[in-house]
Each structure stands twice: as structure tokens, then as C-alpha cells.
Structure 1
Amino acid sequence: MVRPLRKYSDYSRDEVHNIFSPHTTFIPQAGTWGLHGIVKIPNREKDYVFFVTYGQSQSGHTFDEGITEEGILTWQSQPRHKFTHSTIQDFINHNHLTNNIYLFLRTAKGRDYTYLGQLAYLSHDSEREEPVHFKWQILDWELPEGRAQEIGLVLNQTLPQQDSASIQESLPQLTKTDPPAPRTSTQGVTTRDFHGRKVDYSEVDSKRKDLGRAGELLVLEYERKHLIEAGLKDLANKIIHTSEVIGDGAGYDIESFTIEGEKKYIEVKTTTGGINTPFLMSINEVTFSQQNSDNYYLYRIYDFKKQYGTGSFFVIPGNIGEDFVLEPTQFKVRR
């Protein structure tokens, strides 16, 4: 009887093997499934299982691995791996929308592994190989209260982001910044940035209506203050929280105004992750931005801390497709 895969449940290596490769033979303490830390899933291109044991050593290298409170995993490859290795290239170019990496972790030998979820690539240290050092985001990270203690997992605190040079304007709740420069490829980061930079991959947060609404309320307040300070209280009183009034089908969240009195159709996207965190948009929202590009504005809130009601944001006007890479994540299929 094969046990189904359930997040935060415990599994032996044998049980993990039976889930992903049931038609092969499992040999304890030997072979791919019985021994290796990185296991390629048969017949599934670029899909892997990671078995992680804290405190392990191999070929004179002691693995230094850990997880932050936000679910960011610091992880190293095998000591023999260089950047050119085919497996490392799979990891560097990993796209969690099309391929899967499953994380099973135990904090000490003798324990079963706990399934913590699937991974999304964040970054790698471009200055160190043999092994290569990676950061991954554990997707849908919501470790139940008390579970970390049960499995002996100590969560690290994430270092705060320091980027004050880009700050243009501050309000009590939102800090406006410059948009990030477009990224043309996955190139890794330096060792200094790898250790010190705050990263996250919380695109799943955009699915949570409470988070999205909290971001919209911040932008509403920002827009009202902006117009009132410009002596346009009459326009401030005409701002409409569209997504609350008519729902999500309009293609934008807020109807506001420029200083010149022109309409602004504002779409708010909020995540707890950093400035380069991907986010989700519906085809309706993308189409609206294309059809109303002269009056359309994306307000992108990132590093959002819901408990404090604070975050940073930047604004991108016009057609979304001209400033961002749009990746299809699902298809409607019909004949």
C-alpha cells in the first residue's frame, strides 16, 4: 500500500521511493533511492527529490543548510558538482511552473524525513562551486504551529533588506521605490549578496484575498493622501475601490485620478517577497492593461508585512506586457 504524499508528514526513504518509483526495487543503504541526496525521478524530465539531513559530511565537506521563518532553504549540491554539471544546470534554470523538486528533510540521522513541499529556485552563489550553493523558496510554506519543534527544526531569521538609496518618497505605511531593472537571464549572485540579500518567492501570496485586499487598502490611502496634499480633495473623494464594489472582473482594483484630473486604473499586486518576486495576473487583467494602456498603472507592493501594515512599492504605467515577461501557467482545453 503506497502512502499518499502529504505536506509535513514523515516518510522513510522506502516510502518516498514507493511514491515516485514504485516499479523499481528499493535497496536500503544502497543505490539511488537508498543512499543519494539528489534523486532524479524516473520518466519525469528535470523533476527531482531532495533528501536533506542536517549536519552531514561528504568528501571532507560539511553541509551548512538551514531554513528561514519565511521558508527559504539554503542548500548545497554534492561536493563534486561544478556549474557546468548537467544536474546543476537543471537547478539553476529550474522553473517551478513546469518542473518539480520535492524536499524531504530530517534534522538528524535516525529520524524519518519530513516532506516540506516543493521548491522554487531563488539564487545561487556565482563564486563558489564544488559544491554549488543555492537558495530555494519552499512553496506554500505554512508549517503548522508546533511542527518545527516536533521534528527538531530550528528556523533562522531572514536578514532585513538594505536598499535605502532607491527610496524616493516615504509615507507612514508605504515606501515608494524605483522599479527593479529587467532581468535578462539567471546568472547567480556574489557570495556577499548570497549571504546578505533578502529573497523570497511568495507568488502564492497573491492568491490570498486577505493579503491582496490589505495591499489595496494601503494604495487607497496613499492615493487619497496624494490628491489631498495636492489640494484636490474633491478628486480624492471620488476614488473608487472597484474590486470591492463590482468584484474582480473589472480588470483593475482602484479607480483614481492624476494631478491633472485624468482617470487612473490601478491594479495592485502584493506579495511578502522581495522586489523581484513574480506575481500572478489573470488574462482579463493583462488584456485590460493592453486596452487601457494610457490610463493603466500597476502598483507593485513587495516586502509586505501584514501584521504591521507596511511595505515598499513601485509603479509601472501602461501595458503590462511591455515591462514584464508573461508566462502562461494554465490553459483552457476544449475541442
Structure 2
Amino acid sequence: MPLKLWERYSRREVHDIFDPFSNFVPQRGTWGLQGIVKIPERSNDFVFFVTIGHKEGNFKFREGIDENGILTWQSQPKQKLTDHKIKQFINHDHLVNNIYLFLRSNKINPETKKSEPYTYLGRLGYIKHDPNQEQPVHFTWQLLDWDLEEMKTHTNIEIIPAAITSKENHLQENSLTVTDKPNNSPKKNNLPLSNASIVDFAEENEKKQELGLKGELLVFQTEVNFLNINKREDLAQKVFHTSKEEGDGAGYDILSWTLDGQKKYIEVKTTRGGIKTPYYMSANEIKYTQDNASKYYLYRLYEYCDKNNNAKAYIIHGDISKICSLTPTQYKII
């Protein structure tokens, strides 16, 4: 039985996918009983079996998924922050390694009198952990393949309302609110679980393209409005949506202008996640920012709200490679 998103699996079927040449013993051993299973001969790849509402003795796990695909999850009750496995989870990089989530509720099927099978919800990306909690350690993860409607269709798991303040409450419709750039800080920020924020990570190409276009259109209109308000209607008429007309090969998305008539080559990067959500640039885009540093502007849109078409944004002017930390995610082999 191949691995497929939103399909249901028994522990034996999951075992047969990831470790087919070992013996499976029901209710015993690694695959038959444990909630955390390391995949053999794959560095830092794991399977998580999670039962919402599960108890171990007197301990009840406090776990759940909210409407944004944020999973609150607890390690085994005896695990500490210093445990090797916990350190692996804290340093998990979803671009390099995989954690596969299989989820079910603790409800018993009235017909079979047995627990429901697990539903495969996709891979996880680390967001943060609580450095003040251990035995168990408290984690927050993002489901990378999240789809709220699919979750409602294929599981009977209760979805937790998102704890994040709704963005449309304080931003006007069709608006772009410019903020300061984030401080340079380590990738792993250990905030309490209650402050968890959405992380977009890598979305499906179609979704990324749709979101990217929305962000570009918002920036395009913002540039036109700015020039018109400052009585440069002549320049406002010359703002050009390059990526829409030419495709993505130019190295930037929008040609705009400063008030004194200098060109602005604008690249737009949009996510629904917070200010520290990682984003991606191609080799062509990086080279363009290096070759045209004095005229290059990155408009980094975050917390984009589809409902009201608004976002927050910070702007970077100059060579991105000298300002931001670049991490290679793919390699061309010759």
C-alpha cells in the first residue's frame, strides 16, 4: 500500500512502507507500540504516531491541530531537553529530513470495538519548543501539506481555533503596511507555545504562484498610488508589471520609479506566515540583485490576508547576498 496523503493506515501498513524487511509484532516492539519511530538507515527521519486524547498512566497528552495546520505535540513523558532524540527534533530541518505524521483520535469504532486506523497528514516542519518544559517536552510543528477541508473530510479530529489575532482586524482592505526589517537572530526562536505563529514553508507550486501574484498586484497598485499622490502621474503611468508580461525570467517582478525619476527594480516575496517565515529566491534572482544593487528593492510581504487583500511588508534595498543569510536548498549536478 503506497504512501498517500489523507489515506488511512494501520501500524503494520506504515511499517511495510518504511521498514518492510523487519518483522512486525502487533502491540510490541518499535513499530507495533512506540509513538516515535526512527526510519532505519535514514539520518534524522522519523514517523510520528499520534493519538489525540491519548493517556499513559495518569498522564494525558495535551495535543491538537488548529485551523492553520499548527500541531501542538508533546514528547514521551520521561523525555528531557537533553535527550538525543529531543535535540534532533529541535534541530529538525524539513528541507533536509522528514518527519511523517500519522494521526487518529482515541475514540473506539462502535462497530469493530477497535481503535480507528491512523490518517497520514503529511510531513512536519519544526516551529519551536518550550525551553522551560520537559518530561514531556512541548513542541509546535507546522503541517507542510496542510489542507483544512481535507482534514475535515478525512478525519474526525476536532480542529482547534487559531490562537493568532486575525490580521483583518487592524489592517485596511487592499493595503500594504510597511514595517521595520526583522532583527538578525538565530533560526530557532524558543517562544512559548501560546505565541506560535503560522509558517508557510514550501507550498504547492500552484498555491505559491497564486499567492505570489496577489502580492505583486498589491505592490504594483501601491507603487502607482504613491507616485500619483506625490504628483508624479507621468511616472505612475510607466510602472510595469514585468513578471506578468514577461514571465519570471527577468530577475525582478515590477519596474517602478523613485520620485526623482530613477528606476526601481522590485522583487516581491509574499507569505501568509509571520515576519520570520523563510522564503525562496532563484539563482537568477540572486544574480540580478548583485548586478543591480543600487536600483534593486525587495518587498517582503508577510501576514498576507486573502479576505481583505492586505499585508505587512518590509523593504530591503541593495544586494540581498550582502544583507541576508542565504541557504542552498538545491544543487545542479554536472
Q: Shift in Å at residue 291 of structure 1?
A: 1.0
Q: Shift in Å at residue 284 of structure 1?
A: 0.4
Q: Percent identity?
A: 47
Q: Shift in Å at residue 58 of structure 1?
A: 2.2
Q: Shift in Å at residue 310 of structure 1?
A: 1.7
Cross-structure match for 2:194: 195
How is 1:1-335 mapped onto 2 (pairs within 5 angstroms)? 3-109=1-107, 110-145=115-150, 147-161=151-165, 172-189=174-191, 191=192, 194-204=193-203, 208-334=208-334
Contact (CA 8 Å) 1:71, 1:141: kept in 2 or not? yes
Counterpart CA distance in 1 for 2:45 and 2:210 is 33
Counterpart CA distance in 2 for 1:89 and 1:260 is 53
- Aligned to 2:203, the other structure's residue is in SS state helix
- Aligned to 1:218, the other structure's residue is in SS state helix
Could you state the TM-score of these two structures normalised by the residue count of structure 2?
Answer: 0.92
Runs (4 or more) in structure 1 with deviation over 3 Å come to 169-172
Q: Shift in Å at residue 38 of structure 1?
A: 0.5
Counterpart CA distance in 1 for 2:42 and 2:57 is 30
Per-residue CA deviations over 1:222-275 (Å, capped at 9, x if unaligned) read 111111111111111110100012110000000001122211110001111111
Could you state the TM-score of these two structures normalised by the residue count of structure 1?
Answer: 0.91
Contact (CA 8 Å) 1:290, 1:320: kept in 2 or not? yes
Counterpart CA distance in 2 for 1:217 and 1:115 is 36
Contact (CA 8 Å) 1:205, 1:271: kept in 2 or not? no
Counterpart CA distance in 1 for 2:224 and 2:172 is 15
Cross-structure match for 2:110: none
Aligned length: 324
Q: Shift in Å at residue 13 of structure 1?
A: 0.2
Which structure 1 segments of 5+ residues have no match? Answer: none
Per-residue CA deviations over 1:268-324 (Å, capped at 9, x if unaligned) read 011111111111111101111111111111111111122321221111111112232
- Change in 2 beyond 3 A, CA 1:170/1:16: same
Q: Shift in Å at residue 329 of structure 1?
A: 1.6
- Change in 2 beyond 3 A, CA 1:59/1:287: farther
Contact (CA 8 Å) 1:206, 1:270: kept in 2 or not? no
Contact (CA 8 Å) 2:215, 2:301: kept in 1 or not? yes
- Aligned to 1:243, the other structure's residue is in SS state helix
Counterpart CA distance in 1 for 2:309 and 2:189 is 34
Contact (CA 8 Å) 1:269, 1:279: kept in 2 or not? yes
The residue identity in structure 2 corresponding to 1:85 is D
Q: Shift in Å at residue 61 of structure 1?
A: 2.2
- Aligned to 2:228, the other structure's residue is in SS state helix
